Amino acid sequence: MRQQRLLIVLLAVVASGALITLAASLAMREEAGPPSERADLGGIVTSVTPNGAFGSLLVEELPGQQTGAKAWLTVTGKTRIFTANGRASKAVGFAALHAGQRVDVWTTGPILQSYPEQTGAGTIVIRGG
């Protein structure tokens, strides 16, 4: 009976350690920088609407044309925003976003099937910044 309890405690300690290691590695991956996979949308910021510390922005693949991908993106406290120049990237805030910038966007959450689409921004990379 005592050996069983000792074994259960030992397994619990090992499992806890594995979970802590996994959580730490995921957190470091989150902090590391922009995603390595291809962005969901690339284009030009044509409108920025602040709402407190965050807000929304319109990104258009082909600004001024009625074709191409366009999306209204909601930016929240969970959205990661970076400037990138070549391979170097730096985390920035919503205030760094301005009309005319070229961006890559990784979306999150449901996409409302409208034109322009409406969805959440998971990660935004400002190119040439």
Q: 89 CB contacts (<8 Å, ≥6 apart)? A: 33, 34, 82, 83, 125
91 and 50 part of one domain = yes
- Are residues 12 and 57 located together in one domain of the fold? no
Mean pLDDT over residues 58-66, rounded?
A: 95
Domain count, the chain: 2
- Tell whether 27 and 81 lie within a shared domain: no
Site of tokens 């806890």 = 16
Task: Determine the structural domain holding residue 81 and report its residue range.
Answer: 41-127
The b-or-e profile of 109-129 (16+ CB within 10 A means b, else e) is eeeeeeebbbbbbbbbbbeeb
Instruction: Specify whether 27 is located in the same domain as 82.
Output: no
Does this model's pTM top 0.85? no
- Collapse the DSSP code of 44 into the 3-class scheme (helix H, G, I; strand E, B; otherwise coil) and give the result: strand
pLDDT value at residue 23: 42
pLDDT higher than 90, residue 38 = yes
User: Which band of pLDDT confidence, cut at 50, 70 and 90, is reported for residue 16?
Assistant: low
Tens digit of each residue's pLDDT (9 = 90 or more) over 71-95? 999 999 999 999 998 888 999 999 9
Give the residue-averaged pLDDT of 59-74. Answer: 96
- Classify 38 as helix, strand or coil: coil
Amino acid sitting at position 112:
L
Supply the pLDDT for residue 31: 55
Q: Are residues 47 and 107 in the same domain?
A: yes
